[in-house]
Structure 1
Amino acid sequence: MAKNCIGLMLLVIMLSTPSWAWEARVVGVTDGDTVTVETHDGQRTRIRLWGIDAPERDQPGGEPARIHCEAIALWQTVDVQEVARDKYARLLAVLVRPGQNVRSDWSINGNMVRMGHAWAYGAKRWKGSEERARREHRGLWWQEAPVPPWKWRRGGHDRQD
């Protein structure tokens, strides 16, 4: 019975950790939710930050979002914790400090939302951070009615979420 419990506990631990996590250095920031990382062997990968959506560069709040992402991520060593690929085959990942778990409070993704430079998009874990940033008028929330990027991309520049 004890062996079965230990085996079950190990299985639960293995299943709760990300299946693909690897260390890299952020070497480029495209915008508030897209970065390029480089591994120790020089391979570069473009990553879309999972669970957030930052303003487009040509939209109000877009350039400050890119600048903030650059400030917190560029040249940092991170663990890339793969989540999925989107419909365009882009790698979606959470970037955390080396050794931290994907559920950690610290991530580039979560920081972007906490500081008001991105919407929590598909990630419930950062909804409270988004609401607080809104209340405190941080980042893009200085605007009276910021347009969500998914509407901006469709040309819906006149409606808030």
Structure 2
Amino acid sequence: MLASLHVLPALAASELTGQVVGITDGDTLTLLTPDRRQTRVRLAEIDTPERRQPYGSRAREALADLAFQRRVRVVVEDTDRYGRSVGRVYAGARDVNAEMVRRGAAWVYDRYNHDSRLPALEAEARAARRGLWALPEAERMPPWEWRRRAKAEREVEPGPRRGAPG
């Protein structure tokens, strides 16, 4: 019974193909489809450091190395709240999402992960101190924690005082 439930999301998935024409950050790219539409794609099941976070620019470079200006296929799993297609990206036979984890450029996003291979790839990257895992431990904050902390800091910052010069 559980095996048949696992197949249902795959049946509901759609596919996009095209050329990667933009890299926003380590887990978001822009795809130009054959009908000349630009579609933003968020890589499913992984999360990379934010641009202002340690390793953020290198995660972006890793995704560019794997996908920029390449023809890719995206197995779309969902659409996120920002309107991006969320999916698994393939450049030829290479699973770009898994390769980002293997290179140490991404965390497995446990909250959304359904791929049993990804935690093992992350453990391998950690053990080999690849990518972000070579950073000092104090600089290795999962992006979801970094975003939560940044949001909390924004919420406690006082706004401009009434009557203050400004």
SS in 2 for 1:56: coil
Per-residue CA deviation, residues 32-69 of structure 1 (Å, 9 max, x unaligned), is 00000001121000111000000001100101100111
TM-score (norm 1): 0.78
Match of residue 20, structure 2, among 19, 26, 34: 26
Please report the TM-score for the alignment, with normalisation by the length of structure 2.
0.76
Separation in 2, partners of 1:85, 1:27: 20
1:96-107 alignment runs, 5 A limit: 96-98=90-92, 106-107=94-95
Deviation of 1:91 after TM superposition, in Å, equals 1.4
User: Structure 1 27/141 Cα, relative in aligned 2: closer, same or farther at 3 Å?
Assistant: same
Q: How many equivalent residue pairs?
A: 138
Report the counterpart of residue 80 of structure 2 in structure 1. Answer: 86
Which of 34, 39, 54 is matched with 1:45 structurally?
39
Structure (1 or 2) with the greater helix fraction: 2
**RMSD between aligned residues:** 2.0
- What is the percentage of aligned positions where both structures have the same residue? 38
Secondary structure at 2:57's aligned position in 1? Answer: helix
Corresponding residue to 1:139 among 131, 145, 157: 131
Contact 1:18/1:81 (<8 A) preserved? no
5+ long unaligned stretches in structure 2: 1-6, 151-166
Distance 1:22 1:56, change over 3 A: same
- Equivalences for residues 6-17 of structure 1 within 5 A: 16=10
Gaps of 5+ in 1: 1-12, 101-105, 157-161
Partners of 1:116 and 1:33 in 2: CA distance: 13
Matched, 1:153 2:147: yes
Greater mean alpha carbon deviation, residues 78-87 or residues 25-34: 78-87
Number of the residue aligned with 1:5: none
